[in-house]
Structure 1
């Protein structure tokens, strides 16, 4: 019971921190990033770079893609120009998993304290917003720290480890990752929890990779909600995100052991191995797809043509 309560408290703090961080970052720089996405989308390489940068800055690939949907829906850019930015957003989301794997959660009280003081004492609205960013970041890291500490004793319970080991079956892991991501509405949050549990010996590398793959599908839920009722061009952006992620995950399931081997070759602890496998998966997928975005755009035009006008 005490372990469950501690994990629940850490999870609530973590999810609340993710939401606070995302809202604060949007308020601090959302308009400027929207302009950057608009300007950079005409060039494929610049579009990928803009997607990476915006996702790191906003800590959410879903928010970046939803911004793109709004830009395309408004007719500001052709939907085909948005596709490289989607690929860049997928790469940018790996920054969070690296951050979580660096074990910086021990210093979580520092940004929490600075953010709280800025929010309480600063007079300027801009400074207060950045205080909220620091407070949200600290809460995310501290929540992960609590989850990891609470879960540590469970590693000694064979029934718990046996159940979690079942997630090494790729499709069970994918299903679990997708379900958790849809529930908490953040693939970064899912990876953060997985990395925290891996640090305590509860999640194995193959299971962590499988859950990571599922999170890539679960993160499409927000995009699909965002395109409801939008123009055909905007819907095509959401459809590209979904189909690309599904196709890459199907390939990833076949290559789970290769991704795990890359993780083992590049790091010693399981959490960092999962984060490194996440980087390889998303970067490789984006690079493979980038030369074919125009072909994909034509295919989506054929699948979802413009409505006939009377």
Structure 2
């Protein structure tokens, strides 16, 4: 096996994760005060909270960043727990936009936003235009990292070791989900894990079952950083973190139980799409079905979690 695969793949992965982190930070600073105002103002009901979660996640490119921001707003008493539920559901749906962009194969054009963003930063120092340059630059870097990973895995078709690993993942959805969860836990980016599944599918290195099972595992692995954000937070913030975990855990369990039926549904909706598009569509459909399942039950989950994790005031005799 070509010895350049691992360093190239890791280099692309580092670029991808770094760009997501920096893009989220730039957009959070850029929209910080405005977004806090808008989130507080436009989350009066569950429908609006859902919409805000979707829109802000699409803008920031990271569901974890949005959910952590939501937890911060809860601790600042700018949001209540019920409002956060809608935002969390919306964030899970909004994050699927990244997988759709990856499947569109725009990574080969990543040098364009990279170059434009660099030029803006070098020659235009006035805000907010310099911030626009940073957004373009990190957006281009995100897809350039994906391009590097895509190019690096091509020789894996000739690897017996990789073929053995893929056979295990493709043959058992529970094994695939476990691997996807572990990868996400290690690299702290579900978008990167789903992106890896999509590019493996694009190169014909994994089948639909293997790619979808990795995606399911990524959904669970992404809960770790949001749970860490609730440490020493208010009870409402802890409820939000637990709800995020419960949402992903229940949806993943159902997805694994009805795995064959889910694959049939995704294949039928995707029709004759390429495998990378099928995996990206599976990400959208999975989160969409999860939101449809949980949204009518927001009031019930609110009551259950308030009872399980009551406010400290209610614990005093």
1:224 to partner: Cα distance: 0.5
- 8 Å contact 2:13–2:192 — kept in the other structure? no
Aligned with residue 150 of structure 1, among 135, 152, 163: 152
- 8 Å contact 1:119–1:128 — kept in the other structure? yes
1:254 corresponds in structure 2 to 257
Question: Which structure 2 residues correspond to residues 65-76 of structure 1 after superposition, within 5 A?
Answer: 65-76=67-78
Q: C-alpha deviations, 1:239-272, integer Å up to 9, x for none?
A: 1111111011100111222332233231421111
Q: Does 1:309 align with 2:312?
A: no
1:32 corresponds in structure 2 to 34
- 8 Å contact 1:27–1:129 — kept in the other structure? no
1:96 corresponds in structure 2 to 98
- 8 Å contact 1:22–1:59 — kept in the other structure? yes
Q: C-alpha deviations, 1:25-75, integer Å up to 9, x for none?
A: 212223322222212222111111110001000111111111111121222
Pair 1:17–1:304, CA change in 2 (3 A): same
TM normalised by structure 2 equals: 0.94
CA RMSD of aligned residues (A): 1.4
Question: Which structure 2 residues correspond to residues 250-289 of structure 1 after superposition, within 5 A?
Answer: 250-265=253-268, 266=270, 267-289=272-294
1:181 to partner: Cα distance: 1.3
Pair 1:234–1:278, CA change in 2 (3 A): same
**1:125 aligned counterpart, secondary structure:** coil
TM normalised by structure 1 equals: 0.96
Q: Does 1:211 align with 2:214?
A: yes
2:5 corresponds in structure 1 to 3
Question: Which structure 2 residues correspond to residues 74-85 of structure 1 after superposition, within 5 A?
Answer: 74-85=76-87
Distance in 2, matches of 1:309 and 1:130, equals: 50
Aligned residue pairs, count: 310
Distance in 1, matches of 2:13 and 2:280, equals: 20
Distance in 2, matches of 1:74 and 1:234, equals: 10
**1:268 aligned counterpart, secondary structure:** coil
The range that moved more, 240-249 or 11-20, is 11-20
1:172 to partner: Cα distance: 1.3
Distance in 2, matches of 1:143 and 1:78, equals: 38
- 8 Å contact 1:17–1:139 — kept in the other structure? yes
Q: C-alpha deviations, 1:163-221, integer Å up to 9, x for none?
A: 12211211111111111112222211211122112211122211111111111111111
> Where has structure 1 moved over 3 Å in runs of 4 or more?
none
Structure 2 unaligned regions, length at least 5: none
Distance in 2, matches of 1:173 and 1:166, equals: 8
